Chain A
Amino acid sequence: MAVGLRTYGVYIPTYRLQREEIAKFWGTAYEPGEKAIANFDEDAITMAVEAARDCLDNSDDKSVDVLYFASTSSPYKETTCASFIASALDLPSETCTADFSNSLRAGTQALYAALNIVRNDKTKKVLVIASDCRQPAPNSELELNLGDGAVAFLIGESPGIGSFLDEYFYSEPFLEIWKVDEEDYLKTWDQTFTRAEGYKRVLKRGITNALNRFNLSTQQFAQIATYYPSKRELFSTLGDLGFEKKTQMYSGLIDSVGNTGCAMPLMSLIDALGKVIPGDRVLLCGYGEGCDIFSIVINESVKTNSGKVAAEKHVLIPYKNYLKFRNLLKTESPRSESSDLLLPELWRNIPQMLSFHASKCNNCGTIHFPIQRICSVCHSRDNFIEVRLSEKRGKVFTYTVDHLVPSPNPPTIRAVIDCDDARVTCLMTDCETEDLKIGMPVQMTFRKLEVTEGVRKYLWKCKPSRDGSK
């Protein structure tokens, strides 16, 4: 039974690092291009929330039965990140949540699990999110290519945008890229070996077998969307198989966003959607210790340009900012906030911190954030409903640029935001201080506040409204 790709969403961080910046810093050679860099207050969880918001925003029916989070760079080694994401999305507690991790195929594996859920019960809707924020070693080959970002698919009953017709899986314990607890960074080996006997050989074998199994030829696919470590590997591997570089492959991602890990094949699929018409077939390939291959038929045209993913508004940063974002410099700040881990308080505040709930007075309609049990206007007690503020748009009422607050990336911007019916006082992020002004439009974004004893405290901040966003 065919399962449909209902809607999709994507999130690429605002900041970009040019390969030239990295190479200039280290005095090494480079090829042109840039990659997306998560801000200091972003990680795989926060980006997943943003991609999922984009995905659900595109969906008329917001209901989700199952949420799968895929990442090779989960902030927690043990603890279900999907449960935090579900809460940040304000999904019901009855949502089934699970994490897929440890592999570049985590995204496509989560997708396969989602297909099986819907095949089993076509009324189910599964939100699949793949998000990666991987840490390469400074001055490594990987550093030039790895980018950060997240993608989300809502999987449900066919038809939708596209229908998943068939899959083929191939598994092999080939060490191409790995991360172990004893090391701070991702590891790889001489890439002339790993790419020849890893990516290239494995993907060629997998796709050849898959096409035989599907009883289809390369020419019957309008587009191929795949993970790839570099343009060279993409063109030579797929070229050897008989795919046309000009018409069937899109290689814009690697030079604009970078290699986004387990999110990459799904991001490639979104870019491919912009180039196809109903009836076209798309081949989707996830790679990592084998490959996951899906055959998809397109049902409806998508109003997006190819390269949608890369086209998001962005800001170039120098390498030194990246060092601060990733906490790669050993610092000894004389000022530290003595922030204890108050776990019960953190737990009590989940509705406000993760789900961004405010109280709305049933009597007079006044909205308070954080939640107030007694209305400040009519003084009704415990007479309110909880409303979510995440999709509010507002304007800056006042602000400060604070150089005193300890931060990995000072200064800290705090702002008072007035929306149509609420005022929110919060931190501002992704904002250049010279752009700040009273009255500037902002939107809300899910971010990491701080890390205490390894525990990530998340909450909502505001950021300048992105042009052209919905």
Chain B
Amino acid sequence: MNDIMDKVAIIGMGCSKFGFNWADSSDDMIIEAAYEAFDDAGVDPQNIQAAWVGTLISGMMGIRLARPLKLEGIPIIRVENGCGTAIAALRDAALSIVSKTYDLVLVVGFEKFKDLGYNVVSNLDDVMYSHGRSAPGEYALAATRYFHTYGIDKETLAKIAVKNHRNGCLHPKAHFRREITLEQALSAPIIAWPLGLFDCCPRTDGAAAAIICPHELADNYKSDYILIKGIEIATGAGMGRMSKSYDYCHWEESFTAANRIYEQIGIKEPAKEISLAEVHDCFTINELFAYEDLGFCPRGQAKAYIDEGFFERDGQLPVNVDGGLKSFGHPQGATGIRMIYELYNQFRGKAEKRQIQDMRLGLAQTVGGTPGFGGVSHIAIVGGG
């Protein structure tokens, strides 16, 4: 069942500069992203009928969006779904178009981390695991096991980081715009063995916005809109940490979401049919998992594909051509929409030096949670209008 396919058009998008935006407030970044989208769509903000706003920890309720944009009276709902918040917000907004409830809807995702310094609320509702865990540490558990099972080492992961930094250099809004060498990546300080500094994405300030409407109204705004082909979300119960059935070498949630969305859209060979994928490289091991979970390569064979440059910008299936979370940055509430912002610009031939030719389908994947503790995997697929 896929009620979304080709029914919802994205007619305008915006994205703030990502980075340690010391001088910008959340409001500044929201205004920057939202007004780029309003201008892009040619929409008067006061004509927006409903809005969804995604943020992990940077504010509560729809008023977080209403205040800076002066949106009075319309329904605005705050969405939180971990690191996949943005795609979750987009999905709910898209369903409101599918249900014919609204004709013009705004989605904004944002995060303002760096006002908190190093300290980030890790408000687990589980006192037994309230101490002694970190996000890199949790993903490192998976990396250690994958290394053991498939005989790869840090160099394979380092190649992913090198690729994403190289790609991020080409995007003016990316957080880190500096190439790194394989040696730099391999000799960087260890954060949580076996993950080093360059295996980890930064905590970033940023906002991204999308304006959507029914497909049949899209031509009123522009000719080069894009269409949502599907959005799938799969959630895990976190049994991996207490059940021997979990191998710590994949995300079952991503595998499930991918299979479901491919079936809905009719994708048989994702590596051939998808032109460009933006995946959740919060840690390099997670981009590797995405290759295998999303069917871009067979299980356990990511290394060979990485070594042959399969996922490079000029490879058969480019992944994270804007730099990904690693280089573009990771404001949790904004990330998924940032991914779609890149796909949107690619479809419209506006990706400058990053431009991929012959765009057919674009995929965005975000994952919340950590391996073993359970995750929620979000996949959106978009196509040209």
Q: Taking beta carbons and an 8 Å cutoff, which residues of A are in contact with B?
A: 334-339, 342, 345-346, 349, 352-353, 366, 368-370, 372, 376, 397-405, 407, 411-412, 414-416, 418, 422-425, 427, 433, 438, 449-450, 457, 459
Contacts and interface: CB of A to CB of B under 8 A. Distances in A.
Contacts of A404: 134, 136-137, 191-192
Given A398-B248, A401-B190, A403-B191, A423 B131 contact: no
B127 A401 contact: no
A423 B242 contact: yes
B142 interface: yes
B145 A424 contact: no
A315 B140 CA distance: 27
Given A342-B127, A399-B144, A425-B372, 16 more contacts: A334-B118, A335-B118, A337-B130, A349-B127, A368-B242, A369-B242, A370-B242, A397-B145, A400-B141, A400-B193, A401-B192, A401-B193, A402-B193, A404-B192, A412-B137, A459-B128
Given A376-B239, A402-B192, A416-B141, A407 B127 contact: no
Contacts of A372: 242
A397 B247 CA distance: 9
Contacts of B145: 397-398, 416, 438
A328 B313 CA distance: 53
A438 B119 CA distance: 32
Which 9 A-B pairs have CB atoms at the shortest separation, nearest pair first? A400-B140, A402-B137, A398-B145, A425-B241, A401-B193, A402-B192, A404-B134, A335-B118, A376-B239
Given A336-B119, A338-B119, A414-B132, A425 B242 contact: yes
13 contacts: A335-B119, A337-B122, A368-B243, A399-B141, A400-B143, A403-B192, A404-B191, A422-B242, A422-B244, A423-B244, A425-B242, A438-B145, A449-B132
Contact of A427 (B132, B189, B244): B132
Contacts of A424: 242
A376 B244 CA distance: 12
Contact of A402 (B140, B189, B248): B140
B133 interface: yes
Interface in B128-167: 128, 130-134, 136-138, 140-145, 148
Nearest to A343: B127
Contacts of B119: 335-336, 338
Contacts of B141: 398-400, 414-416
Nearest to A336: B119
A415 B141 CA distance: 7
A368 B242 CA distance: 6
Nearest to B140: A400
B192 A376 contact: no
Contacts of A425: 241-242, 372
Interface in B238-285: 239, 241-244, 246, 248
Contacts of A414: 132-133, 137-138, 141
A353 B128 CA distance: 7
Nearest to A415: B141
Interface of B: 117-119, 121-122, 126-128, 130-134, 136-138, 140-145, 148, 189-195, 237, 239, 241-244, 246, 248, 372
Given A345-B127, A401-B193, A414-B141, A407 B118 contact: no
Nearest to A436: B193
Contacts of B132: 402, 405, 407, 412, 414, 427, 449
B239 to A, nearest CB: 5
A416 B372 contact: yes
A402 B244 contact: no
B237 A349 contact: no
B315 to A, nearest CB: 30
Nearest to B195: A400
A346 B131 CA distance: 13
A395 to B, nearest CB: 11
Given A349-B127, A398-B145, A418 B244 contact: yes
Given A403-B190, A425-B241, A370 B118 contact: no
B89 to A, nearest CB: 26
A400 B133 CA distance: 10
Contact of B248 (A342, A346, A416, A450): A416
Nearest to B136: A404
Contacts of A403: 189-192
Given A342-B127, A353-B127, A370-B128, A402 B134 contact: yes
A424 B372 CA distance: 11
Contacts of A418: 244
Contacts of A336: 119
Contact of B136 (A339, A398, A402): A402
Contacts of A416: 141, 145, 241, 248, 372
B50 to A, nearest CB: 35
Contact of B127 (A397, A411, A457): A457
Given A368-B242, A400-B137, A416-B372, A457 B131 contact: yes
A450 B131 contact: yes
Contacts of B243: 366, 368, 376, 423
A421 to B, nearest CB: 9
A427 B241 CA distance: 12
A376 B237 contact: yes
A402 B370 CA distance: 15
Contacts of B239: 368, 376
Contacts of A349: 127-128
Nearest to B192: A402
Nearest to A368: B242
A397 B142 CA distance: 10
Nearest to B142: A398
Contacts of B237: 376
Given A403-B192, A423-B241, A438 B134 contact: no
A404 B275 CA distance: 37
Contact of A400 (B118, B121, B130, B192): B192
A424 B243 CA distance: 8
Given A397-B248, A412-B137, A416-B372, A438 B144 contact: yes
A424 B240 CA distance: 10
A47 to B, nearest CB: 20
A438 B148 contact: yes
Nearest to B200: A404
B127 A346 contact: yes
Nearest to B131: A450
Nearest to B126: A370
Contacts of A450: 130-131
A408 B243 CA distance: 31
A149 to B, nearest CB: 25
A127 B237 CA distance: 42
Contacts of A427: 132
A353 B129 CA distance: 10
A49 to B, nearest CB: 17
Contacts of A405: 132-134, 137
A391 to B, nearest CB: 18
Contacts of B189: 403
A337 B372 contact: no
Contacts of A407: 132
A353 B244 CA distance: 21
A373 to B, nearest CB: 12
A427 B195 CA distance: 18
A257 B124 CA distance: 40
A425 B140 CA distance: 13
B131 A337 contact: yes
B117 A334 contact: yes
Pick the most buried of A352, A401, A402, A418: most chain B CB atoms within 10 A of its CB: A402
A289 B359 CA distance: 87
A444 to B, nearest CB: 14
